[in-house]
Amino acid sequence: MKLYHDIPFLRNTAVALGCFDGVHLGHQAVIHATDDVALSKTVFSFSDDASYKEGASHLATFEDKCCMLEAMGVEHLIVPPFVSVKAYSPERFFREILIGQLGARRVACGENYHFGQYAAGTAETMQALCREHQIDCRVVAPVVYRDEIISSSRIRRALADGAVDEAGAMLGRLFGYCFEVVHGRQLGRTLGTPTLNQYFPAHFLIPRYGVYASVTEWNGQCYHSVTNIGVKPTVGSPMPLSETWVPDFSGDLYGQSVRVNLVKYMRDECKFDSIEQLKQAILQDGANSKRLTAAYMRNGGEQFGV
């Protein structure tokens, strides 16, 4: 997949339009609407946070988004700064960018898509412009989960509640992250439960504080694990972090980027009266997590599937 931070000159493209934060099932439907062996599958989005609602946190890093789009067969990902096109009218955006530079022969967007200055253009505007220029337009209906439309904001709310299983069902995969493993106080090592400590980058969504059944991926292998997200009330942490114990793995992963996928919320964070009580709770959490992640592990990580 080719990544562009400016707008290239292309020909014979099928262009999916949107922010695509998290690349959830609704986003995937829009992107799949560009499938055509005769056209180059292209995604047009933005490189900065201008298209996010104020205060919204990211559901995936840009690197993860790129990997997901490439896995879906996207050939061109175009992410110019929002400021470079924000003053374009809908008609100018369509005429100069979609046709003039991208050579679009098909355009796909969701029903709630807006474009152009002041978000004046709608999906209906796009359909009208495409008809005028004899371009195939696919306006994709929302994807529904449990009688409600899937949206990034709905997934954020689910994660804020700790409902990572529901978030995963709407994403089409387990919610997870891949961050660098950093040094901690190494208390887990002294307890026989060494952990992978990972800090969340700015603007990334931090799920509800608590203990989760998780699956950790490293070097092509999946391991059942247990992850605490929060501030470690028993021993303290200066900022929220993800702390994961992987019972069946041994090795030094400091400085490596490791993927942790959250399967099920198990319990709240709590402060224990002693380190021994903390150790016993971690061991019990590990046993509970192994049971809860068993189905995912048996399916080789394809519980939801993109």
B/e letters for 267-301, b = 16+ CB within 10 Å, e = fewer, are eeeeeeeeeeebbebbbebbebbbebbeebeeeee
What DSSP character marks residue 220?
A: T
**For the residues of 115-180, what is the DSSP string, one character each?**
ESGGG-EEHHHHHHHHHHTT-EEEEEPPPEETTEE--HHHHHHHHHTT-HHHHHHHHTS-EEEEEE
- In terms of Cα–Cα distance, which of 112, 111, 99 is closest to 139? 111
- In terms of Cα–Cα distance, which of 49, 39, 42, 55 is closest to 16? 42
Annotated domain spans of the chain: 9-145, 167-298
- Residue owning tokens 């092509």: 220
**For the residues of 60-105, what is the DSSP string, one character each?**
S-HHHHHHHHHHTT--EEE---GGGTTT--HHHIIIIIIIIIT-EE
Domain 167-298 has CATH 3.30.565.10: no
Cβ neighbours of residue 61 under 8 Å, at least 6 residues apart? 177, 178, 201, 204
pTM given for the model: 0.90
Cβ neighbours of residue 261 under 8 Å, at least 6 residues apart? 173, 174, 175, 176, 214, 215, 216, 217
Q: Cα separation of 161 and 274, whole Å?
A: 28
State pLDDT tens for residues 76-130: 999 999 999 999 999 999 999 999 999 999 999 999 999 999 999 999 999 999 9
Backbone torsion region of residue 147, taken as left when φ is above 0, otherwise alpha when ψ lies between -120 and 50, otherwise beta: left
Largest CA distance in the chain: 72
Residue 191: helix, strand or coil by DSSP?
helix
| CB atoms closer than 10 angstroms to residue 74 | 19
- In terms of Cα–Cα distance, which of 184, 264, 187 is closest to 227? 264
Asked if pLDDT for residue 49 goes beyond 70, the answer is: no
Instruction: Give the per-residue pLDDT at 299.
Output: 65
According to CATH, the topology of domain 9-145 is Rossmann fold (3.40.50)
Instruction: Give the per-residue pLDDT at 229.
Output: 96
What DSSP character marks residue 273?
A: S
Q: Cα separation of 212 and 42, whole Å?
A: 36
Instruction: Give the per-residue pLDDT at 43.
Output: 98
What DSSP character marks residue 14?
A: E
**Confidence grade of residue 304 (pLDDT, cut at 50, 70, 90):** very low
**For the residues of 27-58, what is the DSSP string, one character each?**
HHHHHHTT--TTSEEEEE--SSSTTSPTTPPB
The residue count of the chain comes to 306
State pLDDT tens for residues 123-180: 999 999 999 999 999 999 999 999 999 999 999 999 999 999 999 999 999 999 999 9
Q: What is the mean pLDDT of residues 28-48?
A: 94
Q: Cα separation of 205 and 219, whole Å?
A: 25
Q: Cα separation of 129 and 93, whole Å?
A: 11
